Amino acid sequence: MIPIRDTIRSRTTPVVTIALIAVNAFVFLQELKLGPDLDRVVEVFGFIPARFVSWVDLGGSPLDPWRFLPLLSSMFLHGGWAHIAGNMLYLWVFGDNVEDSFGHLRFLLFYLLSGVIAALTLALFSPSSIVPTVGASGAIAGVLGAYFVMFPRSRIVTLVPLFFIPWFVQIPALVYLGFWFLMQLLNGSLELSARAGLAGGVAWWAHAGGFVAGILLSVPFRNRGSRSRSPAWLA
Active site residues: 137, 207
Whether the Cβ atoms of residue 5 and residue 169 lie closer than 8 Å to each other:
no
Collapsed DSSP state (helix, strand, coil) of residue 4: strand
User: Cα separation of 67 and 87, whole Å?
Assistant: 25
Which amino acid is it at 14? P
User: Cα separation of 207 and 196, whole Å?
Assistant: 16
User: Cα separation of 185 and 178, whole Å?
Assistant: 11
Radius of gyration of the chain from its Cα atoms, rounded to whole angstroms: 18
User: Cα separation of 139 and 75, whole Å?
Assistant: 7
Cα atoms found within 13 Å of the Cα of residue 173, Cβ hemisphere only: 26
Whether the Cβ atoms of residue 99 and residue 20 lie closer than 8 Å to each other:
no
User: Cα separation of 47 and 42, whole Å?
Assistant: 8
Q: Which helix (H) or strand (E) segment is 99 a member of?
A: helix 81-102
* Helices of type H across 10-80: 15-34, 38-45, 49-53, 65-73
Which amino acid is it at 117? I
